[in-house]
Amino acid sequence: MSQEWMLDLLSDLRGVAEKNAMFDLCEQLDDALVIAAREIRAASACLHEADVADDLGTEFSRTAREHDYS
């Protein structure tokens, strides 16, 4: 499930804060938007890397691949 709805919510809250002249809150919400975008991007990258590294050949060294675990 996409987490981008959080960005929409924070943006909407920021708009309400601005309309009500809550400028300190606007600054905090701007920071929250940046942090949320960064974390969403990082989580998406981790998921993508997990899909790519699903093959043992890309995840383990040659020694680990050749080891007999039985």
CB 40 within 8 A of CB 6: yes
10 C-beta neighbours (distance < 10 Å), count: 19
pLDDT score, position 51: 55
Q: Which amino acid is at 3?
A: Q
Read off the pLDDT of each residue in 25-42 and give the average, rounded to a whole number. 95
Cα 26 vs. chain centroid, distance in angstroms?
Answer: 22
The HSE-up count of residue 36 (CA atoms within 13 Å, CB side) is 16
pLDDT score, position 65: 44
How confident is the model over 9-22, as pLDDT tens digits?
A: 999 999 999 999 99
The chain-wide mean pLDDT, for the chain, equals 78
Query: Residue 13 to residues 9, 59, 68: CA-CA distances in angstroms?
Result: 6, 42, 56
